[in-house]
């Protein structure tokens, strides 16, 4: 108990005040400003022990699983703090279940004597129990019982408020960490709509952080390694695995021009270190703008879409499972000539967009959007597509990421 609190609740005989009303007012004074849970627990129990004039007691709170009551504050013989009692059995359990005062006589053990329990409840839901015991032959008086009930109600409100304050602080810390994680993620992405390159990408998380990623960069010989991936799950764990996969790709993409080998190495690394059955779908490749040649490999990802010069379309389904599932997995490299066409890679978040209660956008809807905006340059076309999906009525269920590569040679011949 803090010094200020000790000064408020002081002096025998009794509780040192002219009346119980004065004592209860002093007891509530600390709770009016306290937001420290541990201090609140200690003060609640110390005040009750002084008011009811006992030397042994414990304040129990339900554990997160709601199976046990755990002693969080104690007075009297050492060793009680941390003691666990069933939330379903015994005097403590009965007090919690009934959400009502319980009194009993114990003949043996450290609690020998009269034992009085009062529930701690907020919004009608009990979340803890205060237990005190005395060895007085007369046991607890009616005044003791009434005083404990009043003080337990006051303590319950204070504990609930202190818990909410702690949760608010934790939430604020978590939100700051998520904002920082989102900022770091954005720094890993290449700039959207980068001028001078035939490749463009966008990423739009459905939450603050994303399990999707894309990347591309230019090698000294002007070839462009590229990748787009989608991590299973959501939240911080997915974002961390995304960052790892993206970092591995950037490192490997500078060392080898074999997309299948890149996926094989990333698969081995993710399988060794990922947890909770998480995996990554991914397309990785290299584009040579001078020759219009594109090489890529697909690990369990949505089939990329090739839009030919004549506006016909072709898809390339994955021939191997996602990364991180099978430790030793073979991937295959495909090679195509864009020949004035365009190559689209996207996460399922794009084609799973839906308008109200209607069906999902799907690949057919994506093709229709591409064709409706075909007169725009590739980068502007992607942006216009996403702007259309921002209109009222469209809803997203997942992160959205799209990457498009266009062969700009001979466009004047179209």
Instruction: Tell me the pLDDT tens digit for each residue of 348-384.
Output: 888 888 877 778 889 999 999 999 999 999 999 999 9
Q: Which of 214, 110, 122 is nearest to 160 (CA)?
A: 122
φ, ψ at 352 (rounded to 5°): -90, 0
Instruction: Name every residue whose Cβ is closer than 8 Å to that of residue 75 and which is 6 or more positions away in sequence.
Output: 45, 46, 49, 55, 56, 57, 58
Helix (H) or strand (E) holding 162: helix 142-188
Per-residue pLDDT tens digits for 297-321: 999 999 999 999 999 999 999 999 9
**Confidence at residue 391, expressed as pLDDT on a 0 to 100 scale:** 76
Alpha carbon distance 20, 16 (integer Å): 10
**Confidence at residue 54, expressed as pLDDT on a 0 to 100 scale:** 81
Per-residue pLDDT tens digits for 259-307: 999 999 999 999 887 766 789 999 999 999 999 999 999 999 999 999 9
In three-state secondary structure terms, 274 is coil
Per-residue pLDDT tens digits for 51-90: 788 878 889 999 988 899 999 988 887 778 899 999 999 9
Q: Which of 56, 46, 40, 50 is nearest to 116 (CA)?
A: 56
Token pair belonging to 49: 């022990």
pLDDT higher at 204 or 178: 204
Overall size of the chain counted in residues: 414
In three-state secondary structure terms, 201 is strand
Using alpha carbons only, give the angle 75, 116, 4 rounded to the nearest 5 degrees. Answer: 40
The confidence band for 140, taking pLDDT boundaries of 50, 70 and 90, is confident
Instruction: Name every residue whose Cβ is closer than 8 Å to that of residue 248 and which is 6 or more positions away in sequence.
Output: 265, 266, 269
Q: Are 3 and 39 in contact (CB under 8 A)?
A: no
Query: Rounded to two decimals, what is the model's pTM?
Result: 0.61
4, 8, 73, 307 from 23: Cα distances, Å: 15, 9, 21, 81
Per-residue pLDDT tens digits for 319-342: 999 999 998 899 999 999 999 999
Q: Averaged over 241-259, what is the pLDDT?
A: 90
**Confidence at residue 27, expressed as pLDDT on a 0 to 100 scale:** 60
CA atoms within 13 A on the CB side of 106: 19
Q: Which of 299, 376, 305 is nearest to 338 (CA)?
A: 305
162, 228, 312, 355, 360 from 365: Cα distances, Å: 52, 21, 15, 11, 8
Beta bridge partners of 69: 62, 85
Instruction: Name every residue whose Cβ is closer than 8 Å to that of residue 341 and which is 6 or more positions away in sequence.
Output: 306, 307, 308, 309, 406, 407
pLDDT at 19 over 90: no
Alpha carbon distance 22, 250 (integer Å): 70
Q: Delineate the domains of the chain, giving CATH numbers in brackets.
A: 3-169 (3.30.450.40), 189-413 (3.60.40.10)
Per-residue pLDDT tens digits for 111-135: 557 888 999 998 888 999 989 888 7
Q: Which of 139, 135, 147, 117 is nearest to 77 (CA)?
A: 135
Instruction: Name every residue whose Cβ is closer than 8 Å to that of residue 410 and which is 6 or more positions away in sequence.
Output: 340
């Amino acid at each position: 108990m803090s010094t200020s609190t000790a000064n408020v609740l002081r002096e025998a005989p009794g509780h040192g005040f002219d009346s119980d009303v004065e004592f209860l007012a002093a007891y509530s004074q600390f709770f009016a400003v306290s937001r420290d849970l541990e201090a609140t627990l200690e003060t609640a129990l110390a005040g009750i022990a002084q008011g009811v004039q006992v030397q042994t007691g414990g304040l129990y709170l339900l554990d997160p699983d709601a199976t046990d009551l755990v002693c969080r504050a104690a007075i009297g013989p050492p060793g009680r703090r941390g003691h666990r009692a069933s939330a379903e059995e015994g005097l403590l359990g009965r007090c919690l279940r009934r959400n009502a005062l319980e009194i009993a006589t114990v003949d043996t053990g450290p609690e020998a004597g009269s034992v009085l329990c009062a529930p701690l409840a907020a919004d009608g839901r009990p979340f803890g129990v205060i237990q005190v015991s005395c060895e007085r032959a007369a046991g607890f008086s009616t005044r003791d019982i009434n005083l404990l009930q009043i003080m337990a109600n006051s303590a319950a409100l204070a504990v609930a408020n202190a818990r909410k304050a702690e949760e608010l602080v934790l939430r604020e810390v978590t939100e700051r960490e998520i904002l920082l994680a989102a900022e770091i993620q954005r720094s890993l992405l290449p700039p959207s709509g980068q001028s001078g390159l035939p490749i463009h990408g966008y990423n739009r998380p459905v939450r603050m952080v994303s399990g999707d990623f894309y990347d591309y960069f230019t090698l000294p010989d002007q070839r462009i390694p590229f990748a787009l991936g989608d991590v299973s799950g959501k939240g911080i764990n997915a974002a961390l695995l995304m960052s790892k996969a993206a970092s591995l790709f950037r490192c490997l993409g500078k060392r080898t021009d074999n997309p299948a080998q890149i996926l094989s190495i990333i698969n081995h690394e993710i399988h060794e270190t990922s947890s909770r059955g998480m995996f990554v779908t991914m397309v990785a490749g290299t584009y040579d703008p001078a020759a219009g040649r594109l090489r890529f490999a697909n690990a369990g990802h949505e089939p990329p879409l090739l839009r030919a010069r004549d506006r016909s379309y072709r898809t390339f389904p994955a021939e191997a499972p996602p990364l991180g599932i099978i430790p030793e997995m073979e991937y295959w490299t495909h090679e195509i000539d864009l020949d004035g066409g365009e190559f689209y890679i996207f996460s399922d978040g794009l084609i799973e967009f839906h308008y109200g209660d209607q069906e999902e956008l799907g690949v057919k809807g994506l093709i229709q959007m591409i064709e409706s905006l075909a007169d725009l340059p590739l980068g502007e076309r992607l942006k216009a597509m996403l702007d259309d999906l921002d209109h009222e009525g469209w809803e997203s269920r997942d992160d959205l990421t799209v990457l498009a590569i266009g062969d700009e040679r001979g466009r004047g011949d179209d």
